[in-house]
Chain A
Amino acid sequence: AQSVTQLGSHVSVSEGALVLLRCNYSSSVPPYLFWYVQYPNQGLQLLLKYTTGATLVKGINGFEAEFKKSETSFHLTKPSAHMSDAAEYFCAVTSWYNQGGKLIFGQGTELSVKP
C-alpha cells in the first residue's frame, strides 16, 4: 500500500522568501512522485514529477523537489516566493506496480504569500 503525508495544511511566506512544502510518502515498491498545484476554482496542474534517475527534479514556475529515499521525502521548494504562487499544492504517489495507475494524494497544503 502507498500513502502520502503533507506536513502543514497552511503555510504562509513573505514575497521573496523561501518556499518549503513538506511531503513524506510510504511505499513498499519504487515510487513515482508528483507535485500538483491547484489555483482557485481550477483543476490540478502538474508542477513536477520524479520517476527514476536524477533525484533533484525541476518543474515549472521555478519549483524543484528532491527525492530522498532514506528519508522517504519529496519536499517542494522555491527560492523566492511570488504572489502568483498562492495556491493549494498536492503531493501524490503511484508506482509502475500500481494497478490502474492510481494516484494517491496527500491532504494538500495551502500556500499564502504576503506582500
Chain B
Amino acid sequence: NAGVTQTPKFRVLKTGQSMTLLCAQDMNHEYMYWYRQDPGMGLRLIHYSVGEGTTAKGEVPDGYNVSRLKKQNFLLGLESAAPSQTSVYFCASSWNMGQAFSNTGELFFGEGSRLTVL
C-alpha cells in the first residue's frame, strides 16, 4: 500500500523554467492538498481540491497552478519558477469529513519534493 506518492523527490530549476509536481494517492480520498514548508514558517497551504475536477486557492497560491483531472492525482505546476519558490513541497490527502462521523480530518502526507530554483 503506497499511500501518497510524490514525484520527483528532488529538482533543480533555473529562474523562469517551468515544471510539474505529481501527487498520487491510492486511498480513494476525496480531498487533496499541496503545502510548502519553509524554515520557521511551518506548512502553508498552496492549493487544495475537494474532488475530481475541482480546485481552490489556499494561503499562498500565487505563482502556482493545479489540476485534478483524476481523483487519485493532484498536479502542482510552476509556470515560471522564481528563487522564492525554493522550498520543500508536500502533498497530502484526506477523507471528506462530511461523509462520515469517523472522518476527522487527518491528513496523510507524501515524503516531500525538494525544489531549488537558481
Interface residues of A (CB under 8 A from B): 9, 32, 34, 36, 41-46, 49, 51, 90, 94-96, 98-108
Closest to B49 in A: A100
| Inter-subunit contact B58/A102 (CB<8 Å) | yes
**Option from A43, A105, A107 in Cβ contact (under 8 Å) with B111:** A43
In the A-B complex, the 10 residue pairs with the smallest Cβ-Cβ separation, listed nearest first, are A43-B109, A105-B42, A105-B43, A107-B42, A43-B111, A44-B109, A51-B104, A94-B105, A32-B105, A100-B50
A–B complex contacts, Cβ < 8 Å, 27 sampled = A9-B40, A36-B109, A41-B112, A42-B111, A42-B112, A43-B90, A44-B43, A44-B90, A44-B92, A44-B107, A44-B109, A49-B104, A51-B105, A90-B43, A96-B97, A100-B31, A100-B48, A100-B50, A101-B31, A101-B50, A101-B96, A103-B105, A104-B45, A105-B42, A105-B43, A105-B44, A106-B42
**Complex contacts, B31 vs chain A, CB 8 Å:** 100-101
Given A43-B90, A44-B43, A90-B42, output 9 extra A-B contacts at Cβ < 8 Å.
Answer: A32-B105, A36-B109, A42-B112, A43-B109, A49-B106, A101-B50, A101-B94, A101-B97, A107-B41
